Amino acid sequence: MSDTREPGKDQVQPPPVFLERQSYRRRRLMDAARLLPVLGAALFAVPLLWPTEGENAVRMSAAITYVFSVWAVLILVSVGFGVAARQGQPSDPQEPERDT
């Protein structure tokens, strides 16, 4: 661990700024990822507002289209987050293993 003590001290452009920006991005990405299920729940709750009787009643095909579209969008956004998070974290993020 002592070899990581002062990284880039002799470099012209100190990398911490770059890292800082990257970790900032990653954190905002996490915020967005956290919001995704809330958004999904809200979108899946929308059909509850639809009229169920009378002339304006929503056709089943439309309902299916809506629900599966929302579903697909959520999945795609989730894929996007997964890819972005992987790129944002080149190193293994979860195992800060120490050699002590």
Partner 1 sequence: MTSLNVLVAVCLSYVVLLFGVAFAADRLASAGRSTWLRSPLVYTLSLSIYCTAWTFYGAVGYAARSGLEFVTIYLGPTLVMIGWWWGLRKLVRVGRSQRVTSIADLISSRYGKSNTLAVCVTILAVIGVTPYIALQLQSITLSFSIFAEADPAGSHVEGSSAFWVAAGLAVFAILFGTRNLDANERHHGVVTAVAIEAVVKLIALLAVGVFVVWGIAGGVVDTLQRIDASEIGVWQVDHGRWATITFLAAAAFVCLPRMFQVMVVENDDERHLRTAAWAFPLYLMLMSLFVVPIAVVGLEILPEGSNPDLFVLTVPLAQGQEMLAMLSFLGGFSSATSMVIVAAMALSTMVSNHIVMPIWLNAKGGGASVSGDVRSVVLYARRVSIAAVLALGYFYYRLSGGGAALASIGLIAFAGIAQILPALVGGLFWRGATRTGALVGLTVGFVLWLFTLLLPGMGAGVLAPSVIEQGLWGLSWLRPQALFGIEGLDPMVHSVMWSLSLNSAAFCIASLLSFPSPLERLQGAQFVNVFDHSAGPRGWSGSVAQSEDLMIMSQRIMGAREAQEFFQAEAKAQGSRAYFPEPTPAFLERLERELSGSVGAATAHAMIGQIVGGSSVSVEDLLAVADESAQLLEYSSRLEAKSAELSRTAHKLRDANEKLTQISLQKDAFLSQISHELRTPMTSIRAFSEILRDTDGLEVAEKTRYAAIIHDEAMRLTRLLNDLLDLSVLENGQVSLNVTEGMLVDVIDRAISTALTGSANPLKLRRNRAAERISIRTDLDRLTQVFINLIANAQKYCESHEPTLTISVHDVGGRVVVDLVDNGSGIPPHSQKMVFEKFARVSAEKAGGAGLGLAICREIMQRLGGNVIYLPGQEGGAFRVSLPLGLEIAAQ
Give min distance, CB of 10 to partner 1, in A: 14
Q: By CB under 8 A, is residue 46 in contact with partner 1?
A: no
SS3 at position 99: coil
Q: Which residues have a Cβ under 8 Å from the Cβ of 81 and sit 6 or more positions away?
A: 29, 32, 33, 36
* Cβ–Cβ < 8 Å for 54, 46: no
Which residues form the interface with partner 1 (CB under 8 A)? 1-2, 4-7, 30, 33-34, 36-38, 40-41, 44-45, 47-48, 50, 52, 57-65, 67-68, 71-72, 74-79, 81-82, 85-86, 91, 93-94, 96-98, 100
